[in-house]
Homo-oligomer: A and B are copies of this chain.
């Protein structure tokens, strides 16, 4: 606390990201992709003319936005890019959710959303998940100042299909519906094809998971031209050049390699289902997942103790110390070898 801070800063409760360990661990805690990015990324870096770095990047990031527009079958004016999807989400909260009516979000979802609300002084209400740990879309209030959820949801892994999203959008027409699709490429169904019909739908995505580029910080939003313009107004009042030249070139190279993308996400999906079966055999309850992580609990073992036991064996997973989630561990899907180490350690701990 300091007398020099803006008064509102004293009230902030920052988001706490998963640990980035400095020692060598089997790292299954922040949903990173276990496979490297597309080989074209290496070519971009080794052949990069560094003289270009003395110049500012394109403030509109047109080349990257064109590549994303092509990938998703939309116009370039329907694409917004930012320094990771966390930045895109923050700017979207600022651009759309500072309304008279409170924002609605699931009680269990990406825990950065309430942090943005405190930063921008946005009131919000939460919606309990249903008995199957799913977001009950039909329970969202049409009079909300906005709606936000992750789909597939985090850290549960459940995702709604496009039909369910369509029913929500038919009902909620007067506020922005923000769908965070960070994990959609591991088996979910994207709502992006719906942006043409629903001007209040904004879908965010990231290069951090399915493109194996968490280190490069690239996120995006796709929506109607009027929503993208709102984001641009806020962005251009905050930082003219959020996407650096290297990140843009690397992101474009990743988008160009469809084969690598498909191969990596299929491997993750196969390993996820295999891990799910093995954990079920060890007595764990494993929630069905369309993401690159699984949420698991064991009826006879304390999750916090399992977390510590795994850590002692060099394996890092995520434990959220909240009332709703403290019985669970969230485990990112690594390589088959990494998951073998996990299963072996858990066999000792629960066997």
Contacts and interface: CB of A to CB of B under 8 A. Distances in A.
A200 interface: yes
Contacts of A232: 14
A116 B234 CA distance: 10
A261 interface: no
Interface string A254-274: 000000000000000000000
B46 A6 contact: no
A75 interface: no
A2 B41 contact: no
A233 B14 contact: yes
Contact of A54 (B12, B212, B237): B212
Given A34-B54, A48-B45, A50-B41, A4 B240 contact: no
B15 A237 contact: yes
B214 A96 contact: no
Interface string A202-231: 000000100011111100000000110110
B212 A14 contact: no
A36 interface: yes
Nearest to A211: B54
Contacts of A241: 17, 84, 86, 214, 217
Q: How large is the interface on A (under 10, 10 to 19, 20 to 34, 35 or more residues)?
A: 35 or more
Contacts of A281: none
A22 to B, nearest CB: 9
Contacts of A112: 240
A133 interface: no
Contacts of A252: none
Most buried by B among A13, A227, A234: A234
Contacts of A98: 6-9
A56 B238 contact: no
Contact of A97 (B6, B57, B236): B6
A96 B5 contact: yes
Most buried by B among A90, A94, A241, A250: A241
A106 interface: no
A99 interface: yes
A144 to B, nearest CB: 12
Contact of A236 (B15, B54, B216): B15
Contacts of A32: 54-56
A37 B53 contact: yes
A5 B54 contact: no
A53 B250 contact: yes
A2 B224 CA distance: 11
Contacts of A9: 94-95, 98, 230, 233-234
A250 to B, nearest CB: 7
Given A56-B208, A215-B55, A14 B237 contact: yes
Nearest to A43: B50
B54 A4 contact: no
A27 B20 CA distance: 41
17 contacts: A6-B96, A6-B98, A6-B230, A9-B95, A9-B98, A14-B237, A15-B236, A17-B59, A36-B54, A37-B53, A45-B50, A52-B215, A56-B208, A84-B241, A86-B239, A90-B238, A244-B244
